[in-house]
Structure 1
Amino acid sequence: MIRKNHKGIFIVISGPSGAGKGTVCKELIKTSENLWLSVSMTTREPRDGETNGVEYFFVSKEEFQKQIDEGNLLEYAIIHSNHYYGTPKALISEYLNVGIDVILEIDINGALQIKENNKEALFIFILPPSMEELKNRLIKRGTETKEKIIERFKRGYQEINEITKYNYVVVNDELDKAVDKVKAIITAERCRVDRIEEVFLNNSEEVIHEKLISNKTFNNTDITID
């Protein structure tokens, strides 16, 4: 008898700005069962339309520092005008322990921090079809200056050079296909030998012998067991 290990899979997704990792994550949540999108913590002020606990957990710098000191964050960084961003451990562990997969969209620096202390996590990198397409996507956003676009493009090139530190790479050429590939990766990961508990291997040969003899399936069948 083989029984699955019911602990959820921790899925970490990264990629350069413009690769579409956020869109892929949202589509995964929309079209998948048993999957929760991790919520990060930040010290910045909520923007219009944002809700505490949905987009982010919004906290003071004092509270954030307390979380750091108590070791309650998987990773953290100070970015964007001295605002703190980090990933709380508690909810992720809670969901994983009841068999729910958790997906975390995060930049490469955060992902590598997590990888140092979480060898069981699944790391997926989302790539654009080409650097030319990445540039076009950044331009089409129409929300940033030319200088900012150039900065993001350069950073994206640097980030792509880190893909060997991930388990899988998915090219986001067509959204539906990219999402299907990520789902296939998660399914394959769930079938890995080290994620499956084979209960009968924990039994001695004598116990297995006893179970076979006492099994009702064999009550009316002549069986010779050497």
Structure 2
Amino acid sequence: MASSGPTGKRLTVLSGPSGVGKSTVVAELRRSHPEVWLSVSVTTRAPRPGETHGVEYFFVGDGEFDRMIAAGDLLEWAEFAGNRYGTPRVPVERKLAGGVPTLLEIDLQGARQVRETMPEALLVFLAPPSWEELESRLRGRGTEPEDVIARRLAAGRVELAAEKEFDLSLVNTAVSEVCGRLIALMR
């Protein structure tokens, strides 16, 4: 098993299509396994009500984000809905060097970038039990107009086709089972 050093841990990346339940899995993992460190992304979007700088995200301007890209300070970054999001490199490297189990929850584009920048990372694909279940979950949110759902479903088809690029897949039939498998992989 590859690692980042003699006392280091290997970075675990969780990705999968929109609506598959990544956020739910991560929330349960944080609740049941507080020893796992979840990377906090940096974003150019404005904070939403109730969000705190450094908790949900690090909120920065476009100039600072550009500086971070140019300096190589981001493991990965992507643009989504007119805003940019990225993973700061230094906190991840520090946690890994300290032997802390470290998790990134990112999209397919980000996972591909991490594969390039940290080839020893373990890329885990979270898959839906079926296409119908994924569609049902996206529609069941009831928070988005039909055109947004249609875009997410189209993106979901592309993301599902990329499953073979990952080291392994976990089917999200039960959140507790997925968390158990992730913890076992991170140890």
Q: TM-score, with normalisation over the residues of structure 2?
A: 0.93
Instruction: Kindly indicate whether the alpha-carbon contact (under 8 Å) linking 2:101 and 2:186 is maintained by their aligned counterparts in 1.
Output: no
2:164 is aligned to 164
3-state SS, counterpart of residue 123 of structure 2: strand
Q: In the alignment, what sits opposite 1:214? A: none
Alignment map for 1:156-195 (pairs within 5 Å)? 156-187=156-187
Q: Secondary structure at the match of 1:24?
A: helix
Aligned to 1:102: 102
SS at match of 1:125: strand
Aligned residue number for residue 150 of structure 2: 150
Q: How does 1:132-143 map to 2 (within 5 A)?
A: 132-143=132-143
Contact 1:125 1:169 in 2 (8 A): yes
Counterpart of 2:94, as a letter, is E
Counterpart-to-counterpart distance in 1, 2:10 and 2:52: 26
- Once the two structures are TM-superposed, the CA of residue 157 in structure 1 deviates from its matched residue by 1.2
Instruction: After TM superposition, give the deviation of residue 33 of structure 1 in Å.
Output: 4.7
Q: Of the two, which has the highest radius of gyration?
A: 1
Q: After superposition, what is the alpha-carbon deviation per residue over 1:30-60, rounded to whole angstroms, capped at 9, x for unaligned?
A: 2125310000101110000000011110011
Identity between Structure 1 and Structure 2 (%): 42
Quote the Cα distance in structure 2 between the aligned partners of 1:124 and 1:173: 15
Q: Is the 8 A contact 2:18 2:156 kept in 1?
A: yes
Aligned Cα RMSD in Å? 1.4
| Structure 2: runs of 5+ lacking an equivalent | none
Amino acid at match of 1:147: D
Residue 224 of structure 1 is matched in structure 2 by none
Aligned to 2:52: 51
Deviation larger for 15-24 or 30-39: 30-39
Normalized against structure 1, the TM-score is what? 0.78
Contact 1:9 1:100 in 2 (8 A): no
**1:118 matched to 2:118:** yes
1:7 and 1:98 in contact (8 A); partners too = yes
Moved over 6 A (4+): none
